[in-house]
Amino acid sequence: MALAADAVLRYGGYDMRSLMYDAVVIGASCGGMAALARIFSHLPAGYPLPVLVAQHLHPQQDDGFFLHLGERCPLPVKAADEKEVIAGGHIYFAPPNYHLLVEKDLTLALSVDERVQFSRPSVDVLFASAAEAYGSRLVGVVLTGANNDGADGLRMIKERGGLAVAQDPATAVADCMPRAAIAAVAVDQVLAVDEIGRLLAALGAR
């Protein structure tokens, strides 16, 4: 269901650039770092939306991957801090071994509650809290991964009127996560990672 580059800017007969969103949430697991690097390479300096990411990580993972992504992206890339105010044009990652949540006042919260889908951070936890905070003005993206994390959270985003996007499973290193999302949700777009990057860039071109 991949789209040509010029068609990525449209879905359901609407010009994506005319739609208004306030934030992007992304979930990924196995193969996610490479996919995220490609997506972030499409986001220009001055991109207005915050991007919040739950990437499954080893609990003892160091900050090398943040530095790696930050060197390849014009936007600030960082681990989220407790009570941090969400700012546009920043990419926030759930720290290793913490759930990342969005509070109603659009600050970030970290939690060491039980694992969800065997994962902490959990994609579902991030997506569910962001859906409550942002409602219809949220974009949710499920990328490559080897379990079902993200499907329930993406369904919540869609139910609240947000935009639901999944990576084309045929392009994923591990296709379980995007396949589970597509099975659970009437997703708006199923795209390869570069097309997802172009889509997110277009949504920020206000």
pLDDT at 6: 47
Q: What is the pLDDT of residues 109-125, one digit of tens each?
A: 999 878 877 778 999 99
pLDDT at 118: 72
Residue 12's pLDDT band (cuts 50, 70, 90)? very low
Q: From the candidates 119, 124, 129, 149, give the one annotated as an active-site residue.
A: 149
Q: How are beta strands 163-167 and 138-142 bridged, if at all?
A: parallel
pLDDT at 62: 65
Q: How far apart are CA 22 and CA 135, in angstroms?
A: 10
Q: How far apart are CA 19 and CA 56, in angstroms?
A: 30
- 149 catalytic? Reply is yes
Q: What is the CATH number of the domain that holds 173?
A: 3.40.50.180
- At 169, phi and psi to the nearest 5? -55, -30
Q: How far apart are CA 200 and CA 17, in angstroms?
A: 10
Number of structural domains found in the chain: 1
Q: From the candidates 29, 119, 122, 129, give the one annotated as an active-site residue.
A: 29
- At 55, phi and psi to the nearest 5? -110, 125
Q: From the candidates 22, 42, 56, 175, give the one annotated as an active-site residue.
A: 56
Q: What is the pLDDT of residues 38-60, one digit of tens each?
A: 999 999 999 999 999 999 876 66
pLDDT at 54: 96
Q: How far apart are CA 199 and CA 184, in angstroms?
A: 22
pLDDT at 15 over 80: no
What's the mean pLDDT in 157-174? 97
- 18 catalytic? Reply is no
Give the domain range for residue 156.
5-203
Q: What is the pLDDT of residues 60-74, one digit of tens each?
A: 666 666 677 777 788
Q: How far apart are CA 184 and CA 148, in angstroms?
A: 10
- At 148, phi and psi to the nearest 5? -100, 10
- 188 catalytic? Reply is no
pLDDT at 75 over 80: yes
